[in-house]
Amino acid sequence: MGKKKRNNLKRIEKNSNFNSTRQRPPTHTNNEIPGEEIIFILESNSPPLTNEELEIIQSMGDGVYFKPRTRKTTIIEPGTLKKWQLLNFTSYRHYIGFNSFNNQVGGVTETDLMQHLIDTLASNKRSN
């Protein structure tokens, strides 16, 4: 009896999912939900008048007086805003479309990245 011939390529294709499409979970599901910005409004009393300011008001006449008002300070923090919201895109899909159209990854074009690598390699050669 002879030795049985094996087709190695067929065996590899059968064991590994050679032609099957790989199912990846979508990465954009969490990014599509917009975040919220946090707005703080701090109220404080106005400081009392100095002697100089009080003299100026009294010199203006009888109908002029000082009415203290509360000061409002508004603080806006990004809170849970996503990157695409901070860059003023209306949705995550617009942000992804813009990046793919401009061939950008993480906000950096490939030419900028290549130039950075060239500069880094050149500086490493100079230092050695």
Strand partners, 39: 76
For residue 1, being part of any structural domain is answered with: no
Per DSSP, 88 falls in state T
Higher pLDDT, 51 or 111: 51
Query: Which backbone phi and psi does 43 adopt, to 5 degrees?
Result: -110, 135
Q: How far apart are CA 127 and CA 119, in angstroms?
A: 12
Same domain, 53 and 74: yes
- Which residue bears the tokens 């050149």? 122
Answer whether residue 17 shows pLDDT above 70.
no
Q: How much is the mean pLDDT over the chain?
A: 79
For residue 6, being part of any structural domain is answered with: no
Least confident of 28-32, 38-42, 56-60, 117-121: 28-32
Which pLDDT belongs to residue 77?
87
For residue 106, being part of any structural domain is answered with: yes
Same domain, 42 and 77: yes
Domain extent at residue 46? 36-81
- Strands 104-105 and 108-109, how do they pair? antiparallel
pTM as predicted: 0.41
